[in-house]
Amino acid sequence: MMTNWDARIAKLVGDGVGLGNGDKVSVFVTDVSAIDLVDAFVGLCYERGASPQVLLTDERFDAWALRYSRDLTKPPPMEQAAMQWSNVHVSFRAMAPPPADAPDPARAAGLRQGRGLISTLRWQNTRWALVRVPTRAWAKRFGIDYGTWLAQWHASFDADWGDAHRRMGALCDQLTASPGRVLLRDDDTDLSVDVGGRVWVPFAGAANWPDGEIATAPVDVDGHIAFDGPIVFGGTVVDGLSLTFEHGRAVNVSAREGQDFVERILASDGGAAFAGEFGVGTNGRLTALAGDALLDEKILGTAHIALGRAYPECGGVNRSAIHWDIIKDLRGPRGFLNVDNVVLIDKGVPTKALLDAALRAE
């Protein structure tokens, strides 16, 4: 049954993509648990004179593809046609937990490569948004209190996004004007990221929901970084992941779980092993790590590095079918992040410079 929240979120998404008369809108939904939200968005499309087409891209069907498909690395043809037809795209991605039995790493990596080609078409051809929707099944799988998590999710939407964009933009302008040397440190991490000459961009109520991050494109990355787990990517669980970078490229991988899968992802194409994005979370209304990039990357007190495709609006040039955001939680007592003389996180606590740009918890 559609709720006021469904209508509110649908409007935020529609406003974010500039939904209007004459738009051709491809809508993907990954699970029927998000159908009421999709219903509200489809109604908004028609109300504004746009033409929506809805495609069920249920992630449970991936299990059959992984078992039998001979075309895993190719883009699904109906999804490809939808991206080529539309000028606006929205995916409502209800969170299906990963299967109990890990898929074959080579085939799972191949599936991500094919899906990545769809993502590339989305970036190239449409004004787009991704909406990640919490589910009870995911919460149960990872031991998260669903009621608390859902309340945080709702609160993370409820903001003056115009003001948030202005405040995040001011910090981005300051960081863009700096020499561009990022240092990220923790007990298990010592990473240097060169972003000199690149542009920091605010993500505040446009493309990803929940939203709230600032990001840029690395020129170079050196050092090592360890990530809190588990992390889920493409239906595969990766736990205890550590990466070592040299000259922007991940040259060493270790993980307690999923290492073979990560290595195969990095070998997907010529750009997959290179860092394409560096970002910082600014949404203080999300606090619970869920193991999902679209949610966790927004959490205030975290940073993330993406392997693969760079944002061209940041000045990034790395190309890949892969774009994998991996989140580093810096909220421990030794978490530290700065961009030249601008300290953003110190001893695990966001500084005033970052808080001034952030959505605060209420």
The whole-angstrom separation of Cα 9 and Cα 63 is: 30
Neighbours of 346 (CB within 10 A): 15
The whole-angstrom separation of Cα 341 and Cα 332 is: 21
Tens of pLDDT, residue by residue over 4-19, are 889 999 999 999 999 9
- Residues with Cβ within 8 Å of 101's Cβ and at least 6 positions away in sequence, in order, are none
Tens of pLDDT, residue by residue over 269-288, are 999 999 999 999 999 999 99
Residue 94 has pLDDT above 90, yes or no: yes
The domain ranges of the chain are 4-133, 161-355
In one letter, which amino acid is 236?
T
Q: Which of 16, 20, 10, 88 is nearest to 53 (CA)?
A: 88
Global pTM reads: 0.94
Q: Which two tokens stand for residue 318?
A: 């790395």
Residue 255 has pLDDT above 70, yes or no: yes
Tens of pLDDT, residue by residue over 294-353, are 999 999 999 999 999 999 999 999 999 999 999 999 999 999 999 999 999 999 999 999
User: Would you say 30 and 36 are in contact if contact means Cβ atoms under 8 Å apart?
Assistant: no
The answer, yes or no, to whether the previous bond of 75 is cis (omega within 30 of 0) is: no
User: Would you say 62 and 89 are in contact if contact means Cβ atoms under 8 Å apart?
Assistant: no
Q: Which two tokens stand for residue 361?
A: 């918890």
- Residues with Cβ within 8 Å of 112's Cβ and at least 6 positions away in sequence, in order, are 233, 234, 265, 268, 322
User: What CATH number is given for 4-133 in this structure?
Assistant: 3.40.1830.10
Write down the mean pLDDT value for the chain. 95
Averaged pLDDT for residues 216-220: 98
- Kind and range of the H or E run holding 114: helix 105-125
CA distances from 36 to 3, 9, 127, 330 (A): 8, 11, 22, 36
Averaged pLDDT for residues 31-45: 96
- DSSP labels, 26-73: EEEES-GGGHHHHHHHHHHHHHTT-EEEEEE--GGGHHHHHHH-S-TT
pLDDT of residue 121: 94
Residue 195 has pLDDT above 70, yes or no: yes
Tens of pLDDT, residue by residue over 125-171, are 999 999 999 999 999 999 999 999 999 999 999 999 999 999 999 99
Expressed in percent and rounded to 5, the helix, strand and coil fractions of the chain are: 35, 30, 35
pLDDT of residue 362: 64
Tens of pLDDT, residue by residue over 101-134, are 888 999 999 999 999 999 999 999 999 999 999 9
Residue environment code for 135-167, b if the CB has 16+ CB neighbours within 10 A, otherwise e:
beebbebbebeeeebbebbebbbebebeebbeb
pLDDT level of residue 99 (50, 70, 90 thresholds): confident
pLDDT level of residue 207 (50, 70, 90 thresholds): confident
User: Would you say 62 and 34 are in contact if contact means Cβ atoms under 8 Å apart?
Assistant: no
CA distances from 353 to 138, 173, 344, 358 (A): 34, 12, 6, 9
Residue 2 has pLDDT above 80, yes or no: no
